[in-house]
């Protein structure tokens, strides 16, 4: 897999205000970007987890901690699935 490097200049004052080092800030940016891209449906769960440098389960835990639903399963999809299950049980 080919990768690109992104460089971001941040003043020491910002790092001091955040009370973190450059590496920690870089990881925080990765997490924030991954969550944002996932929420806007620009990245799948797997790709967002990859961007965050987490496995899928750890990324799902992160989403849960932030109150973000990992799976978009709306009422119409549920009704369709329930109707399909009902049809299957009617055949028995």
| Residue pLDDT, tens place only, 1-52 | 799 999 999 999 999 999 999 999 999 999 999 999 999 999 999 999 999 9
Asked whether the beta carbons of 30 and 24 are under 8 A apart, the reply is: no
3-class state of residue 54 by DSSP: coil
Q: Work out the burial of residue 70: count CB atoms within 10 Å of its CB; fewer than 13 is exposed, 13-18 middle, 19 or more buried.
A: middle
Please, where are the H alpha helices in the chain?
12-18, 22-39, 45-51, 56-65, 75-90
Spans of all domains in the chain: 12-90
Query: Please, which pLDDT band fits residue 60 given cuts at 50, 70 and 90?
Result: very high
Asked whether the beta carbons of 35 and 45 are under 8 A apart, the reply is: no
Asked whether the beta carbons of 37 and 8 are under 8 A apart, the reply is: no
């Amino acid at each position: 897999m080919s990768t690109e490097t992104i460089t971001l200049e941040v003043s020491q004052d910002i790092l001091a205000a955040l009370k973190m080092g450059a590496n920690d800030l870089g990881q925080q940016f990765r997490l924030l970007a991954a969550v944002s891209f996932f929420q806007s449906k620009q990245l799948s769960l797997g790709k967002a987890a990859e961007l965050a440098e987490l496995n899928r389960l750890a990324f799902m835990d992160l989403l849960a901690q932030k109150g973000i639903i990992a799976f978009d399963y709306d009422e119409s999809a549920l009704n369709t699935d329930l109707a399909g299950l009902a049809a299957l049980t009617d055949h028995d």
